Structure 1
Amino acid sequence: MTSSTTNTPGPTGRFSIGGELPVTRLGFGAMRLPTGPGPEREAAIAVARRAVDLGVTLIDTAHLYGWGANEELLAEALFPYPDDLLITTKVGVTRSGPEGWAYDGRPESLREQVEQGLRRLRTERVGLLQLHRIDPKVPVAEQVGALRDLQREGKIGHIGLSEVTTAQLAEARRTAGIASVQNRYNLFDREYEPVLEACEAAGIAFLPWRPVAAAADAGQGAALDTVAAVATELGATTPQVLLAWLLARSPVVLPIPGTASLIHLEENLAAADLRLTDSQLQRLHRAAVPS
């Protein structure tokens, strides 16, 4: 369970993942950072460093992102890491052919991916390790159990899940403590609302990915007009309003917007200081919920 003394409800508050990893509630998703050689890589390193300079203490990456290249990029940019920085990575997906990927939750595969991640991140312990996807071919208890074993060995601090249902979350919690869930969620895509509610009840961090998806993506162009109107009232941008809505939705929500642009990075992080009125929150809710 989390500690009420470290979990504060405001957008600029902090949340203690697993009760012992305090982070600012607005993090950074590193998936979009280019990892190839050349000027784009240098720019990506600059973005990662700027995120930390601006106070970000939660950065999300994964084995899947460039098959470890994203982890290596973050290590190049940020190692040695500040004491308050949490870099969380994910395992459970492996390469399948030249361009494809597949679930792989076999205990031996998870262990190897964790070992690889530790080497790439240049650390002996990852504070939060998330299972990228539950492999339907492997019992949940075996997958989570493998991570629990690594936790007992001191290689993992806390265990998280990604893209899970409430039933899968409950099943996983019977094997090990779960500190976080990373599911797709935003104002216009609330399929996993029950999962967020379960996380809130248990004090589990909820990291929404794709947090600033446009309403147009979901065929809700009219709803986007409402978001734009609220943005105009606040002198903000549409992505900032969408991030502010997430921060206001629940104190366990830790958005991790990603970008390879310094300008967009600073724009996203400025959303932490945006305050939505009760009236604006109600308008956004009504606009995004089908009549």
Structure 2
Amino acid sequence: MTSTFRIGGEIGVGRLGFGAMQLPTRPGDARDASIAVARRAVELGVTLIDTAHMYGWGANEELLAEALYPYPDDLLIATKVGVAPPVPPNEATLNGRPEFLRDQVEQGLRRLRVERLDLLQLHRIDPETPLADQLGTLRDLQDEGKIGHIGLSEVTVAELEQARRIVDIASVQNRYNMLDREHEAVLDACTAAGIAFLPWRPVLPVASATAKEIAAVAAELNATEAQVGLAWLLDRSPVMLPIPGTSTLAHLEENVAAADLHLTEDQRTRLTDLATT
């Protein structure tokens, strides 16, 4: 099992990343703790951090810039666009109109203090806007040097295939973990094509029906059940790049340590079979 992956065939990252969504951004002690967590992640060797315009409507991007700018040469901060903030009484909505995507990309560049977003993902496909218009806009921004690689989030195999006929897709970010494998076919398609797969919500509380088996493997490895879940993901496919999130240093260090766990064939089989039991 390799410990690194080249996104888009170019950007080398460690396969266990960090999801910044859970970091509090309001001024005060919680924000100071968030900055400490982001910095500690980089100290521990994390080279892939995931954020989005939607996370605090830009506040999460600003937090990462405050914590980490100027960025280490090997650090990739991936962000996402395509969701419009809520306008009471209405909730947040998908928006893939070209002018909206372009504006959010420009905002992301300013907030992250960069001239190019090396990995920009479409947070969701807007069903009200032709996909060719959404991805065409991102391709234009790519041609302008403002985007490096383009990714998608929460897509089906058919949507991925359609998108790849329009632009090169470097990553897919779908919900996936040891007990939630709804997007197994999407993962398989990414594996076959060499597309990075960033599972969001990579670790869930263990369901009672499966707790005993996961706890048994954890005991065998002298690890936590969450670490076992992350180790299983890393073992599942070479394109898998889990991005577990946390707002505490202890949990961060626990997550990062999961990259050093190695499952035996027996443990791998027992865990994989949980989804069918």
TM-score, normalised to structure 1, is 0.93
Query: For 2:154 and 2:48, how far apart are their aligned partners in 1?
Result: 19
Which of 234, 247, 262 is the aligned partner of 2:221?
Answer: 234
Which of 112, 116, 141 is the aligned partner of 2:107?
Answer: 116
Query: For 1:114 and 1:255, how far apart are their aligned partners in 2?
Result: 24
TM-fit CA distance, 1:223: 1.0
- Paired positions, count: 276
TM-fit CA distance, 1:215: 3.3
RMSD between aligned alpha carbons? Answer: 0.9
TM-score, normalised to structure 2, is 0.98
Query: Residue type matched to 1:124 in 2?
Result: E
In structure 1, the partner of 2:156 is 165
Q: Report % sequence identity.
A: 70
In structure 2, the partner of 1:154 is 145
In structure 1, the partner of 2:234 is 247
Structure 2's unaligned 5+ residue stretches are none
Query: Residue type matched to 1:70 in 2?
Result: N
TM-fit CA distance, 1:285: 1.4
Contact persistence 2:179–2:274 (CA under 8 A): no
In structure 2, the partner of 1:51 is 41
TM-fit CA distance, 1:179: 0.1
Query: For 2:27 and 2:188, how far apart are their aligned partners in 1?
Result: 42
Query: For 1:231 and 1:138, how far apart are their aligned partners in 2?
Result: 46
Which of 168, 172, 180 is the aligned partner of 1:181?
Answer: 172
Deviations 1:185-239 (A, max 9, x none): 00111010000000011100000000001232xxxx1212211110011100000
Q: Secondary structure at the match of 2:125?
A: coil
Query: Residue type matched to 2:42 in 1?
Result: V
Query: For 1:206 and 1:149, how far apart are their aligned partners in 2?
Result: 24
In structure 1, the partner of 2:194 is 203
Which of 264, 268, 272 is the aligned partner of 1:285?
Answer: 272
Structure 1's unaligned 5+ residue stretches are 1-8
Query: For 1:224 and 1:118, how far apart are their aligned partners in 2?
Result: 43
In structure 1, the partner of 2:185 is 194
Q: Secondary structure at the match of 2:85?
A: strand
Contact persistence 1:223–1:288 (CA under 8 A): no
Matches within 5 A, 1:76-155: 76-98=66-88, 100-155=91-146
Query: For 2:16 and 2:182, how far apart are their aligned partners in 1?
Result: 22
Query: Residue type matched to 1:23 in 2?
Result: V
Q: Secondary structure at the match of 2:36?
A: helix
